[in-house]
Structure 1
């Protein structure tokens, strides 16, 4: 593609994911045009985005010659088939997380991407949470010294079922492990790479009628360097504020509460580029207590790095237009799926699994 050309994007589905996370970022990217949306029962997207085309089937979307990139926001069980079909029809693809529902499917998609030469990425937007970017800098720049423990939470309080497909045991890839677990595992992979071992407990704590899915997990990843990552998610975490990160190192610790602000901002209609977008309020900043190199002791707040979900879409566009490296590769998606499966196996068998 010529440098002056933008990537034309078609989105499959117009539910919460597309409305909140994808379409607002697509139209905010200087490298992209939103041109089409698949909606089977309405044309709501046309009201939100003037000038786009609405089609009722993925076949119609994949046949559109002016669509370069397809974004798949449908339920997890459909990700593999739709991504495969789109690439075979000549489209680049972004798949909402989780990548697939099995590592075998993920491996096949990696192969199809190589065979077709099409860019394939997974929407792991939480790599661009402001708090995660902050944690990454603290670790990389040695503010904690040798890291010994990384604890990451993504908790909610919902003692009822919303009756969506994510809470139906008949839905492929339902439950918290595939939903929030995919985020936490990918963040750990991005920081530390492939773990040495995994131990997990995964359970259904709420025991709600019609929602027989996992709603709580603890995953412990260990690494050959000696540190460990504890990943935790629960639907029955009512404490306020919710813990997000707790890091311990040889020289100190860092603690952060509250979730990244971007999801709530996007739901409220704020876009990247608007004043205050991605900016964590001061009262939500984390706290660092550390003896830095040279004997300097620091005990106080650390300003949260500004969050930037738009960076994900800009990176994919630049990979398509200019051949730049992908930030989130299909191999990243495959590793995440393998760890999800091994976490479930560990929980089922009650044992630590070594790579």
Structure 2
């Protein structure tokens, strides 16, 4: 296989969990460089990678063609721009940037230089997300009229991470963090909405960045899509609730890839490496062809974040479609920016 040399801009949780394991196990990639400013933790698992102490040093010295910008969101624009100017293709962790203007500028720069930007929207490869897409495509729900997508947690105490919780830092808070996933899923399922209304604030208090949001997306044909997240949710809700003119579908959030990776699981190339689902995680209630009600318990099939890197590889080597290109994810940033504006002004914002 053609070997693609890659460099990681950081070796925090994102690098350790979501990127390095997949780059190492995919036979088409080679981790040539890792940035660790003061430590050398990557040596144990990735001894073949050269450790650099700054992104600038890596871009100047490392023999790489692909750069993963997995630093705090407030630095995405800076490092992505430097990587593009150095002639590197880039993968940027979500959220893409802190606002639309930064995302648009990076996308234009990449096009001018004949390079690509892909945003790491890994939740498109979650088992639950894929199951909902399967149900929509299957047609048993009919025309979707109402949908709710949630991503809740129970984290009532501060994490201490300033780039995520300091309200004075643009890009901090749940809206940019978890909201980047929910907005992306809504756009993938239904396209770009016409307008929105949002409620965004901090349940922990004004000294912390937003940890709660509710966004109501207005679509043509009277479709309403609600995106919601709270850190004061001890009991789990259904992550997806979809209602159509023929039936309803309720889906739990059951993808466990992140937890398994944190616990030390090694993703295996070419296989469904995750633990199988025990039992059911969805409910389908619909009118069949005889207009009789059927209620079925469903089980989702495995997701696989390796599929993201496989698509990156196929794009570089064969020219296949790029997963979550920057130009596409700009739409997500427009929705996030508009949500902040809506919450601040307490009004509906046209898109």
When normalised by structure 1's length, the TM-score is 0.94
Structure 1 residue aligned with 2:198: 200
Alpha-carbon distance between aligned partners in 2 of 1:57 and 1:9, rounded to the nearest angstrom: 15
For residue 24 of structure 1, the aligned residue among 7, 21, 29 is 21
Deviation at 1:65, TM superposition (A): 5.2
For residue 136 of structure 1, the aligned residue among 133, 147, 164 is 133
Alpha-carbon distance between aligned partners in 2 of 1:279 and 1:250, rounded to the nearest angstrom: 35
Q: Would the alpha carbon gap of residues 280 and 219 (structure 1) be closer, same or farther in structure 2, given more than 3 Å must change?
A: farther
Structure 2 residue aligned with 1:354: 350
1:163-182 alignment to 2 at 5 Å? 163-165=160-162, 166-182=164-180
Q: Would the alpha carbon gap of residues 227 and 293 (structure 1) be closer, same or farther in structure 2, given more than 3 Å must change?
A: farther
**C-alpha deviations, 1:191-230, integer Å up to 9, x for none?**
111101111100111227xx52101000011211321211
**C-alpha deviations, 1:25-56, integer Å up to 9, x for none?**
11122321111100001110111212111011
Q: Would the alpha carbon gap of residues 296 and 156 (structure 1) be closer, same or farther in structure 2, given more than 3 Å must change?
A: same
Structure 2 residue aligned with 1:263: 258
Alpha-carbon distance between aligned partners in 2 of 1:150 and 1:128, rounded to the nearest angstrom: 20
Deviation at 1:296, TM superposition (A): 5.7
Alpha-carbon distance between aligned partners in 2 of 1:294 and 1:34, rounded to the nearest angstrom: 57
The list of structure 1 runs, each at least 4 consecutive aligned residues, that deviate by more than 4 angstroms after superposition, is none
Structure 1 residue aligned with 2:41: 44
**5+ long unaligned stretches in structure 1:** none
Query: What's the RMSD between the two structures over aligned residues?
Result: 1.7
1:1-355 alignment to 2 at 5 Å? 4-64=1-61, 66-165=63-162, 166-207=164-205, 211-239=207-235, 241-273=236-268, 277-279=273-275, 281-295=277-291, 297-355=293-351
**C-alpha deviations, 1:71-106, integer Å up to 9, x for none?**
011111110111111011011100001101110000
**5+ long unaligned stretches in structure 2:** none
Alpha-carbon distance between aligned partners in 2 of 1:163 and 1:284, rounded to the nearest angstrom: 37
Count of aligned positions: 349
Deviation at 1:279, TM superposition (A): 4.9
Q: Would the alpha carbon gap of residues 215 and 259 (structure 1) be closer, same or farther in structure 2, given more than 3 Å must change?
A: farther
Q: Would the alpha carbon gap of residues 83 and 249 (structure 1) be closer, same or farther in structure 2, given more than 3 Å must change?
A: same
